[in-house]
């Protein structure tokens, strides 16, 4: 990986309904991420947090079934521009959320730099809903669909082009809560998914070997989008939409270690850390530890 890392915080909490996730970037910094990466020999530039607009009075527009569309779209545009600049400068972009709607902006900023961008979506959820399929209207359940060019034009048009990614270049790892519309889209587009069934049956080593092999031959860069609710709530309790039966802390370290050894990852974001729902900043501490493994931290 590149030895220069630029950090961007996105204190976004408008893509869902539970307050507190806007403090995620601060919690991750408080857990010592800058010092940890500097100790690994990286040059760190912390670019601070982007500004997030106000929630709409009518949170959920009945015409679109999208909560806080304008503010999420504006923040996504700002983030896309910043990420684009970071990659243009030669740095590795590392983004802290905030809810998972921020991936709309991240991928819009990353995608122009690659012909075939790969995505590892490490998450309990598929985030493949649209306004038509979402039970809640929460945009944090839509960023992967938006990045495929599916959804409201105000979101899909962010950045230089649409779609940002191809369905055959996506691997979802850790899925265990999918809505009906998401299941249909996965089958229609042929998206590669490792549910908890596959992780339990094959083991994380095999899942990561297959995922790395699958992406290595077809992509020229890989973005890691890691939602802390991909982990089991016993290891990462401070998330807004916890789902029992998730990936373990140790399995997650193994996954990050294998990604580091592969040299595939060219950008990353860690999202959905909510300190209000957490236990003594445990989830942010887990996020920082996983970043350590992703960037080459080893016991010996």
Q: In angstroms, how far is CA 259 from the centroid of its own chain?
A: 15
Q: Which of 22, 77, 182, 229 is catalytic?
A: 229
Active site residue 235: no
Which among 289, 195, 197 is positioned nearest to 250, based on CA atoms?
A: 289
Q: Which of 22, 77, 91, 140 is catalytic?
A: 140
Q: Containing H/E element for 27?
A: helix 24-30
Helix axes 204-216, 249-262, angle to 10 degrees: 30
| Tokens describing residue 148 | 């495929």
Q: Which of 13, 22, 125, 182 is catalytic?
A: 125
Distances (CA, A) of 283 to 158, 162, 173, 176: 30, 33, 19, 20
Q: How many CB atoms lie within 10 A of CB 25?
A: 28
Q: Which of 99, 100, 260, 297 is catalytic?
A: 100
Active site residue 100: yes
Active site residue 59: no
Going by the DSSP 8-state scheme, the letter that residue 16 receives in this structure is S
Q: Which of 77, 99, 182, 227 is catalytic?
A: 227
Q: Which of 22, 272, 278, 297 is catalytic?
A: 272
Give yes or no for a contact between 173 and 118, defined as CB atoms under 8 angstroms apart: no
Q: Which of 13, 49, 123, 269 is catalytic?
A: 123
Active site residue 22: no
Active site residue 123: yes
Active site residue 56: no
Largest CA-CA distance found in the chain, in angstroms, rounded: 56
Q: Which of 91, 99, 127, 269 is catalytic?
A: 127
Active site residue 35: no
CA–CA gap between residue 283 and residue 76 (Å, rounded): 24
| Enzyme catalytic residues | 100, 123, 125, 127, 140, 227, 229, 272
């Amino acid at each position: 990986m590149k030895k220069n890392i630029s950090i961007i915080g996105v204190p976004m909490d408008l893509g869902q309904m539970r307050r507190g996730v806007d403090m995620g970037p601060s919690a991750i910094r408080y857990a010592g991420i800058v010092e940890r990466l500097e100790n690994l020999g990286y040059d760190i530039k912390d670019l601070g947090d982007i500004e997030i607009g106000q929630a709409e009075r009518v949170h959920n527009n009945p015409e679109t079934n999208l909560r806080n569309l304008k503010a999420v779209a504006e923040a996504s545009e700002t983030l896309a521009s910043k990420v684009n600049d970071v990659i243009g400068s030669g740095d590795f972009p590392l983004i802290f959320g905030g809810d998972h709607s921020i991936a709309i902006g991240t991928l819009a900023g990353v995608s122009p730099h690659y012909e075939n961008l790969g995505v590892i979506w490490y998450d309990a959820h598929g985030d493949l809903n649209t306004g038509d399929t979402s039970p809640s209207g929460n945009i944090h359940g839509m960023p992967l669909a938006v990045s495929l060019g599916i959804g409201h034009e105000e979101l899909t048009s962010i950045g230089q082009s649409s779609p940002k990614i191809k369905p055959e270049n996506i691997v979802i790892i850790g899925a265990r809560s999918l809505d009906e519309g998401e299941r249909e889209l996965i089958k229609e587009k042929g998206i590669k998914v490792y549910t908890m069934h596959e992780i339990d049956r094959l083991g994380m080593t095999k899942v990561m070997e297959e995922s790395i092999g699958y992406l290595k031959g077809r992509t020229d860069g890989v973005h890691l989008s890691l939602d802390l609710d991909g982990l089991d709530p016993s290891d990462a309790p401070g998330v807004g939409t916890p789902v029992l039966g998730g990936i373990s802390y140790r399995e997650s370290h193994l996954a990050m270690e294998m990604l580091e050894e592969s040299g595939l990852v060219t950008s990353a974001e860690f999202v959905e850390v909510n300190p209000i729902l957490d236990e003594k900043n445990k989830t942010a501490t887990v996020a920082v530890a996983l970043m350590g493994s992703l960037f080459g931290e080893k016991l010996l």
